[in-house]
Amino acid sequence: MNQRDLFLLDSARVFLAPGVAVTRTGLKDSRSGDACTLSALGRHIVPQLETGVTIKALIRSIRRTYDIEERTVRADLQQFFTVLSSAQLLSIRQSYLGELGARIRRRASSLLRRPARALQAGRRSPYRRYPATPAGILKGSLKAHQPTAAVGVMLAVAIQPLVFLPLIRRGELPSLRMAFYAVQPLMVYVGLLVASVILHEFIHYWVARQLAVRLKSVYVGPGVVGITQLDDGSGRNGIVSAAGPIGTVLVLIWLALLVPQLHLGYPFTGIAAPILCLAVAVIHLFGLTPLTSDGKQFWKLMGFAETRPGKVA
Amino acid sequence: MNSIEKSLSDRLRPVNLDGRMGQVALVHAVAEVFQAIGGGRMINGYTSPYVVSWSKRQEVVDSEWVIALAVAGVVAAILAIAVSVVLAVCAFCGTLGSISACLWTMTTWLWGWWC
């Protein structure tokens, strides 16, 4: 199993990425000019991706033509789509919940040393791709953070015993109203986190427009959203990458100073607003470490990292 | 049946090859070489889909939000819990107005008193 391979479910629907068109010999990306020549079966498959097709439907149609094992076709399609996806030519829509369930089943099968019924190899979640436009960024960011919202709901339940620890020690339980009151800071935190991520991506977009850096597409996975830029070999890509986290942190610090002066009610009262804004800013500061793609570009720009060109993911 | 013929009868269909094992073995050998040079799998006329060549590949740079990183995710979750507990407890006790008052509230909360 190759860990860089995609984790694809049979229900995953595969499309061509924005700006990618089918040619006589294969595929061409109109934004970057990248083109590839495909084998006969590859050329047979790609026209179906213009309107989208599920892995299951593709396997079925191939097996109608060839006397071949389902497992073999699935593995070949997975390999094929992994290659095309790593070249940003595909947009793959796969249910986050379905993927989570399949991963849990696979892990459980491996722990119990049972052969997994599901045959997904690979580790990486496939990405959906949207056009690099404000609407694409907004749609992609909201889609990417569905899991964040789900984690927020789980935390809302988990923090209740902590908040009401003294009450519970006395053998009392909080009322529903008190419980709702207690989760309001968490709701604001999660909302602010998602809003800040959208802002982060919009800052990348705005700076790219200002510097005339060409953008390819917005990509989205579970908890992941990013913008693919075309590397022009100058330092402008580094500026676009670094602008996202730096700009967002500065805006959050400005909000931390501004909001208390507006004298808003709970959950923004007094010290609440600065604490919330700074807690979210801390997460964005991670974006400037070499652990992240933005951070790698930032440190390269500062002259502290290798200057080898290549895809930074 | 030698090992090649056995592996063929396992992997190729139809199983009944009418004594043409030599020809099939040749096709199989070609297919294996084909696959080894990146040409994909070839069985029963089926050749796996693959990219024959790339015309040119322009380098790209991804600007990716960091939440996918486990460390950022864990920090985000821990901060969410800590911030929510502090703000909720201080709000209940009416001490959100000042840092020192909220700190004192949290201290008493840790000792097990409500406000």
* Domain membership flag for residue B54: no
| B50 with A42: Cβ contact below 8 A | yes
B44 vs A66, A163, A182: nearest CB: A66
Contact A297, A231 (CB under 8 A): no
Query: What is the pLDDT averaged over residues A229-256?
Result: 91
Check: complex ipTM more than 0.85: no
Query: Is omega for the bond preceding A185 within 30 degrees of 0, making it cis?
Result: no
Instruction: Tell me the chain A residues in contact with residue B39 when contact means C-beta distances shorter than 8 Å.
Output: 39
* Domain membership flag for residue B36: yes
Q: What separation in angstroms does the CA of B34 have from each of A105, A185, B11, B14, B38?
A: 36, 61, 17, 22, 7
Number of separate domains in chain B: 2
Question: Can you give the length of chain B in residues?
Answer: 115
| A205 touches B: beta carbon within 8 Å | no
What is the domain range of residue B82?
A: 66-111
Are residues B36 and B8 part of one domain?
yes
Pick from A131-135, A271-275, B14-18: least confident: B14-18
Q: What is the mean pLDDT of chain B?
A: 67
| A241 with B67: Cβ contact below 8 A | no
Are residues B70 and B42 part of one domain?
no
* Domain membership flag for residue B78: yes
pLDDT band at A130 (very low <50, low <70, confident <90, very high): very high
Question: To the nearest whole angstrom, how far is the Cα of A113 from the nearest Cα of chain B?
Answer: 26
* Domain membership flag for residue B57: no
| A35 touches B: beta carbon within 8 Å | yes
**pLDDT value of residue A310:** 37
Q: B18's torsion region: left (phi>0), alpha (psi -120 to 50) or beta?
A: left
Instruction: Tell me the chain B residues in contact with residue A83 when contact means C-beta distances shorter than 8 Å.
Output: 50-51
* Domain membership flag for residue B89: yes
| B112 with A68: Cβ contact below 8 A | no
* Domain membership flag for residue B56: no
Instruction: Tell me the chain A residues in contact with residue B113 when contact means C-beta distances shorter than 8 Å.
Output: 166
Q: Checking DSSP bridges between strand A53-54 and strand A128-131, what pairing results, if any?
A: unpaired
Residue B20 phi/psi, 5° resolution? -100, 35
Query: What is the pLDDT averaged over residues A203-213?
Result: 95
Domains defined along chain A, listed by start: 13-126 (3.90.930), 129-301 (no CATH)
| A293 touches B: beta carbon within 8 Å | yes
Residue A222 is given by DSSP the state T
* Domain membership flag for residue B19: yes
* Domain membership flag for residue B90: yes
Q: What is the pTM of this model?
A: 0.78
pLDDT band at B17 (very low <50, low <70, confident <90, very high): very low
